[in-house]
Structure 1
Amino acid sequence: MIRRAMALGAAALALAGCDAMMGTGEEAPSLDIPEVEAGELSQATMVDITRELSSDEFEGRMPGTKGEELTVALLTERFEAAGLQPGNGDSWVQEVPLIEITGKNFAPLTITNGETDLVYDFGSEWVGVTYQEEARTQLANSEMVFVGYGINAPERGWNDYEGVDVTGKTVVILVNDPDYETEGLEGTFNGRAMTFYGRWTYKYEEAARQGAAAAIIVHDTEPASYGWNVVESSWSGPQAYAARGDNPPPLTKMNGWVQKDVAREILAAAGQDLDELSAAAKTEDFQAVELGMTASTSFENDFRTFSSQNVIGVLPGLEAPDEYIIHTAHWDHLGRCTPAPDGDDICNGAVDNATGTAALVALAEAHVKAGAPRRSLVFLAVTAEESGLLGAYYYAANPVFPLDQTVGGINMDAFLVAGPSQDVTVVGPGKSQLDEFLNAALEADGRTPTPNPNPEAGYYYRSDHFAFAKEGVPMLYVDGGEDLVEGGREAGAALAEEYRANRYHGPKDEFDENWDWSGVMQDLQLFYRIGRMMAMSTSWPNWNDGDEFRAIRDESCASADSGC
């Protein structure tokens, strides 16, 4: 994924809160943050591995294909040559069982109050999928309830489900969270910065925990941060999931989206006004509304099961080998995709994420050259990020190294190849004490942090580190800078916009022999310093007070015999 260019116009807003979120650097750090020397990082490694992974021979690195076989073989060879040890016992890989469900023969979504039938076509007006492994999905006359933002957050004094029983019913939910329109970054749900409660993943999970038969999110371009075209393309066709094992979490029959105008029409038929309900849902005293309408639809499902692989290498620590610092990057991409005008149909994924995968190897080489640190360093190349962070989720649910012994980590997802910058873009600043390590490394490198320019989009919840954060492990997600040494923010914005418009998730995300790698190597040096500082430290950084993942980490640490 790449996200720097999505809304650079909001940079001024984000920068206004920079001091509050990142710290001014005037206070002494509360953690043990040792000084470390710069690492010996190989640009040749970055170039060679990025070139090879993104070659046509690797066919776009789709899981379950020849491209995966070649990728796993290359990473295994390079991890071993770097001096790492196999990360999963005597194996370099962790098998990730996957299930692919493809819906077909979709009936319309029919909404009725017994007198009026509203009928909506799949794709253009609504989309839906099932997470249940059933040959046929049927939602029949399911009572509908509007539940506002669908949030149950006791630590924030908020419960949209209070006083209503939605068992077997269809819940209608607003996208994002209640204070996304706030200009600043203060509020029950962090103001304009999206929290996990604003993500569709959370909303579906909470609806299932509440016993709902179906959950339908109302699409709205601004709070979603993408148009209906993205929803339609992402929620039609094959949907892959990691196998859930013998004790799966609660699941709805169907999860879906409707166009905003569709939702408006449905609510009007129920005697309600979407704008009035949306305003009410932003308040703490909101109560769910029974709509007096029912929802019905059906569709069939085809299944495919296959296995993919996470690749894991480890550099054991000298003094605390059972304490782990994790580095993550996804090795997969989209395989063959919609052809470019010249007929090229291989989505090579050079930037996204051959660069991040190469970075795992380059960092491993540098840490081995510097000698094993106090704690162990883990280098994890995960599969199926493009299918929904599946490899990361599987590892987090089945960790090779216990999560309560995992100190924290760094995620690397797409280095947009450019010259050096004055800054780095921090996605999700202010969430954890890892910011202190980041600030120390930035000071050592003479750079500054720029908070994510559109915090309302919730990008912290959209890459592999999130699977670990969700289980309580503090994780950093840092992108390349916006403020280029040559050309400043205007040049940075233009470069990122060109990538998004012409290459992102398309056949032209290809390796270029003329790339300037100086900015990438600058960023890689930052990641080296952060990882090394964490690995030499004695501290256990936690999420900041009030963060949605703090309670999870605290509970994990309280029950641990060792580690945090």
Structure 2
Amino acid sequence: MKKIVPGLLVALFFAGCQSQETTEIPEVTIDTLTIDRHMSILASDEFLGRKPFTEGEEKTIYYLESELKTMGVKPGNGDSYFQEVPLVEITGTQSEVMTVKGNGKTLEFETGNSVVVYTERVEEKVSIENSELVYAGFGIVAPEYGWNDYEGLDVKGKTVVVLVNDPGFGSGDSTLFKGDQMTYYGRWTYKYEEAARQGAAGVLIVHETVPAGYPWLVVESSWTGAKLNLDDANPPYKCAIQGWITRNTAVSLFREAGIKDYSDLAKSKDFKPVSMGLTASVGVENAIKKDMSRNVVGMIEGTERPDEYIIYSAHWDHLGVGAPIDGDSIYNGAHDNATGVTGMLGIAEAFAKLETKPERSVVFLFVTAEEQGLLGSAYYGQNPIFPPNQTVANINMDGLPAYGEMKDLTITGYGQSELDKYATAEAEKQGRYVIPDPDPGKGYFFRSDHFNFAKVGIPALYASGSYESMEKGVEFTDQKTQEYLAIRYHQPQDNYLPDEWDLKGIAQDAKLLFNVGYRIANETYFPQWNEGSEFKAKRDADMSLRKR
């Protein structure tokens, strides 16, 4: 990405926005010694990778409860610091191969290396048997874009093969969907949901590292073993088999099906789904466990408008204990997301120490099961403790900078809401510039917990320094980012490294996000979604009910 000229970006932003209220923000300290203490505990082997349903969960949630009590932060759910989140754990064992037949041939693809499948059905055995394979392009039905990959197609009992991301990615056409910026239609979660709405028996997404945003190694670690889902008494229809295939597997299937240039073919509005003349068989055997996980919630009660809320969020969970890599089997999740949790603890302590508490209530919500599909925040969105139309804003923290102070503040989902204005003003005070997510094709706006607040209409801010180190520049930061994605993300190597990490970046971001929250907590104004945001209509409808 070419570096955006900071002064021009800020000037353009403020030219399009009207300032609201001016709040004098107190000087607070969020110190690196406290951050180091929290990091050393939360990312230690003793916490066993902080996976829900494990001893690691118990250690984590009671640690957070203890810290909130010590700070003087009140329980946020009545007299409790916990919100129960009913989950079902499905530990699936894939059949050894996926068998594909057609054209007089039988092909076998090894699960794990070539294909990864699982199910969200709460059943001991789930499979597809000789299910017809149908190529459904990107698997998208988007009326606002005039796009329907399933038009004229009955996929009941069939298995659809679909591409990751959406047609705009890599097209060079900024008017096709949102160009290289991923829409929700590009997310794997949407593709599973749409295939289910169409009645498909199975859905297989073709994995490619660049449009997916992560390598195949992440698919293997994240979509195998125990998976958690919300325990819904009346679950919607789910495909029997959901999963991914490698690009090499896809090339083999399309070659057998006689489909050429399958990717380019799907990027045309004239695309029609294609029966591949092949059938697939694969299954999963499941061990099922139902239990309660917990969100942790604390609150500083507002002095003037206690029934209006600012919610800070960060997910406390990671992947637990799994397959060993280089002799290490504990997925500690130091960056993802002990950094966000420690940052939020620092912010909570700063609010708790204020002599004069804010006018609105400030909530600290540590959510469970983000790594399993944003489940803790999804449950909160469906079962809010605080009404959405009384919730002023969400400020989410997921992966704060571990290598010192940053010159930038990268806002994921930049342009969605007026919260950008608040963040920009505070970044400028720190001598920083604001940029949009430099890699919008990876869909990070849909990959952390703020998304579930946005879905119920609450304006959400997801921002941190991630592009240019204050001392070492862009190349250093990019090198560390690429290293993290290649060998640490969702791997046991995501460890806290006190000798390598510089915690001043976490403190810097936490201070900025404290300032943003403090300002909003002492205003009467409700920040809005910008025109053109897909979340604006929901918010406008909810706020109209509030005014009656």
Q: Same fold (TM over 0.5)?
A: yes
Of the three residues 497, 512, 519, the one matched with 2:498 is 512
Provide the residue aligned with 1:282 in structure 2. Answer: 267
Q: Is 1:179 aligned with 2:168?
A: yes
2:266 and 2:533 map into 1 onto residues whose CA distance is: 22
Report the 3-state secondary structure (helix = DSSP H, G, I; strand = E; otherwise coil) of the residue aligned with 1:361. Answer: helix
The amino acid of 1:301's aligned partner reads N
Q: Is 1:361 aligned with 2:345?
A: yes
Cα shift at 1:23: 6.5
Q: Is 1:536 aligned with 2:522?
A: yes
1:240-285 alpha-carbon deviations (Å, 9 max, x no partner): 2221x22322311111112223323333333322x1x422322333
| TM, length-normalised to structure 1 | 0.88
| TM, length-normalised to structure 2 | 0.91
Q: Is the 8 A contact 2:14 2:421 kept in 1?
A: no
Q: Is the 8 A contact 1:329 1:412 kept in 2?
A: yes
Q: Is the 8 A contact 2:39 2:496 kept in 1?
A: no
Q: Is 1:251 aligned with 2:206?
A: no
Structure with more relative contact order (C-alpha pairs < 8 Å, separation 6 or more): 1
Report the 3-state secondary structure (helix = DSSP H, G, I; strand = E; otherwise coil) of the residue aligned with 2:357. Answer: coil
Of the three residues 68, 75, 81, the one matched with 2:64 is 75
Provide the residue aligned with 1:121 in structure 2. Answer: 110
Cα shift at 1:455: 1.6
Moved more, 19-28 or 391-400: 19-28
1:4-403 correspondence runs (5 A): 11-12=1-2, 15=3, 24-27=12-15, 29-30=17-18, 32-43=20-31, 44-104=33-93, 106=95, 108-113=97-102, 115-183=104-172, 186-243=174-231, 245-273=232-260, 275=261, 277-337=262-322, 345-370=329-354, 371-403=356-388
1:434-462 alpha-carbon deviations (Å, 9 max, x no partner): 21221222223331113223221112222
Unaligned runs of 5+ in 2: none
Provide the residue aligned with 2:419 in structure 1. Answer: 434
2:439 and 2:114 map into 1 onto residues whose CA distance is: 27
When residues 149 and 16 of structure 1 are mapped into structure 2, their CA distance, relative to the original with a 3 A threshold, is: farther
1:512 and 1:213 map into 2 onto residues whose CA distance is: 48
When residues 18 and 388 of structure 1 are mapped into structure 2, their CA distance, relative to the original with a 3 A threshold, is: farther
1:503-558 alpha-carbon deviations (Å, 9 max, x no partner): 54325612527854332222111101111222223333343333343344345445
1:301 and 1:545 map into 2 onto residues whose CA distance is: 46
1:52 and 1:126 map into 2 onto residues whose CA distance is: 37
Cα shift at 1:499: 4.5
When residues 462 and 19 of structure 1 are mapped into structure 2, their CA distance, relative to the original with a 3 A threshold, is: farther
Q: Is the 8 A contact 1:339 1:507 kept in 2?
A: no
Provide the residue aligned with 1:4 in structure 2. Answer: none
When residues 491 and 219 of structure 1 are mapped into structure 2, their CA distance, relative to the original with a 3 A threshold, is: closer
1:346 and 1:272 map into 2 onto residues whose CA distance is: 43
1:286-311 alpha-carbon deviations (Å, 9 max, x no partner): 33233343333223211122322110
Cα shift at 1:385: 2.2
Report the 3-state secondary structure (helix = DSSP H, G, I; strand = E; otherwise coil) of the residue aligned with 2:49. Answer: coil
1:249 and 1:324 map into 2 onto residues whose CA distance is: 31
1:132 and 1:353 map into 2 onto residues whose CA distance is: 28
1:439-489 alpha-carbon deviations (Å, 9 max, x no partner): 222223331113223221112222222222233322111122422222221
Q: Is the 8 A contact 1:149 1:175 kept in 2?
A: yes
Cα shift at 1:114: 7.0
1:263 and 1:437 map into 2 onto residues whose CA distance is: 45
Moved more, 57-66 or 505-514: 505-514
Paired-residue identity, %: 44
1:64-117 alpha-carbon deviations (Å, 9 max, x no partner): 233322222221122123232211111100112222212225163333347444
1:265 and 1:346 map into 2 onto residues whose CA distance is: 36
2:10 and 2:533 map into 1 onto residues whose CA distance is: 15
1:191 and 1:398 map into 2 onto residues whose CA distance is: 35
Unaligned runs of 5+ in 1: 1-10
CA RMSD in angstroms, aligned pairs only: 2.8
Report the 3-state secondary structure (helix = DSSP H, G, I; strand = E; otherwise coil) of the residue aligned with 2:353. Answer: helix
Moved more, 506-515 or 256-265: 506-515
Report the 3-state secondary structure (helix = DSSP H, G, I; strand = E; otherwise coil) of the residue aligned with 1:387. Answer: coil
When residues 146 and 21 of structure 1 are mapped into structure 2, their CA distance, relative to the original with a 3 A threshold, is: farther
Provide the residue aligned with 1:524 in structure 2. Answer: 510
Report the 3-state secondary structure (helix = DSSP H, G, I; strand = E; otherwise coil) of the residue aligned with 1:392. Answer: helix
When residues 259 and 328 of structure 1 are mapped into structure 2, their CA distance, relative to the original with a 3 A threshold, is: same
Of the three residues 436, 440, 445, the one matched with 1:451 is 436
1:27-53 alpha-carbon deviations (Å, 9 max, x no partner): 162362533314413314323222222
2:502 and 2:94 map into 1 onto residues whose CA distance is: 49
Cα shift at 1:409: 1.0
Cα shift at 1:181: 0.4
When residues 38 and 287 of structure 1 are mapped into structure 2, their CA distance, relative to the original with a 3 A threshold, is: farther
1:69 and 1:391 map into 2 onto residues whose CA distance is: 16
Q: Is the 8 A contact 1:168 1:213 kept in 2?
A: yes
When residues 99 and 499 of structure 1 are mapped into structure 2, their CA distance, relative to the original with a 3 A threshold, is: same
Q: Is the 8 A contact 1:39 1:528 kept in 2?
A: no
The amino acid of 1:549's aligned partner reads F
The amino acid of 2:34's aligned partner reads T
